[in-house]
A and B are shown apart, each in its own frame.
Chain A
Amino acid sequence: AQKVTQAQTEISVVEKEDVTLDCVYETRDTTYYLFWYKQPPSGELVFLIRRNSFDEQNEISGRYSWNFQKSTSSFNFTITASQVVDSAVYFCALSEAYNTDKLIFGTGTRLQVFP
């Protein structure tokens, strides 16, 4: 069965620290897609990244980077030099090739960055 696990419920860091948010997924499909979303205090989820199962190349976007490892079924998200504006709930999600319209979400990780 498909499942996304975000074991870290809440993480607190001080500004400028690096922080990694873990995401582990389960799927029987060989073709699937992984997503990260950010939910700031305003409530609206904001799309951060999509990665397909055939592309294991890590991605960097500014202070954000993503590490996709099929061998461990993980898609971890690292924020380098965290800032207060990074404080949010972060969700990892999975969609499978047979039903790409639907997302399966993890339970989210609340990140608090203190000044």
Chain B
Amino acid sequence: DVKVTQSSRYLVKRTGEKVFLECVQDMDHENMFWYRQDPGLGLRLIYFSYDVKMKEKGDIPEGYSVSREKKERFSLILESASTNQTSMYLCASSNRGGVDEQFFGPGTRLTVL
């Protein structure tokens, strides 16, 4: 059963903390994505990676960075968490260059106090 897994379902952090969200896929996909989901705003792309060590900014990259050291793993980093980063974070992966669907993880609900 193919899977995208995320390290935590729920996470509570304090303002100013450095936060790591981890995502792992077992489908050998080239592409990996981090989205943020907020009520009324749908899914917004934070960062996208199409290969190891390659990344591309999405629509809302401010306050975030990413790391892709291995093909199967894509990390989202909040350098200094703020309350406006409280949200649901979704990771996804897909094949590159085709029009295949993206496969999603279960999401991490992050609360920043």
- Name A's B-contacting residues (CB within 8 A): 6, 9, 33, 35, 37, 42-47, 50, 52, 91, 95, 100-103, 105-108
Contacts and interface: CB of A to CB of B under 8 A. Distances in A.
Interface of B: 9, 31, 40-45, 48, 50, 88, 90, 92, 94, 96-99, 101-107
B31 A101 contact: yes
Contacts of B44: 105
Contacts of B103: 47
Contact of B88 (A43, A95, A105): A43
Contacts of B40: 9, 107
A43 B106 CA distance: 5
A55 to B, nearest CB: 12
Nearest to A92: B42
A105 B58 CA distance: 13
Contact of B42 (A44, A46, A100, A107): A107
B24 to A, nearest CB: 14
B104 A44 contact: yes
Contacts of A102: 45, 48
A108 B42 contact: yes
A92 B103 CA distance: 15
A95 B88 CA distance: 23
B105 A44 contact: yes
Given A91-B43, A106-B42, A100 B104 contact: no
